[in-house]
Amino acid sequence: MGTLTIRLPDDEHERLKALARSNSISINKLMDELATVALANYDARVRSESRSARGNPKRTLALLEKLDRAD
């Protein structure tokens, strides 16, 4: 397991602590969850771009728009 040290403004750090506390998790777990979401989004985008390069870009965009409307 790796270690990551980041520097954040104090107010941002306090807000992240409050967010973690409100979810009854540690800041470490919060950052792990945020990283998981960011990587899932990145993987989906890369997969989509790869498929659209091989397929129909208009269909890909239509599917992405449909997903956006579902949120």
In this structure, is the dihedral angle defined by the CA atoms of residues 17, 19, 20 and 21, taken in order, positive or negative?
Answer: positive
Q: Read off the pLDDT of residues 17-58 as tens digits, 9 standing for 90 and up.
A: 999 999 999 999 999 999 999 999 999 999 988 877 788 878
Burial 7-32 (b: 16+ CB within 10 A, else e): eeeeeeeeeeeeebeeeeeeeeebee
In a domain, 19, yes or no: no
Count of residues making up the chain: 71
Domain coverage including residue 43:
28-71
| pTM confidence score | 0.68
In a domain, 15, yes or no: no
- The DSSP call for residue 8 is -
What is the tally of structural domains in the chain? 1
The answer, yes or no, to whether residue 71 has pLDDT greater than 70, is: no
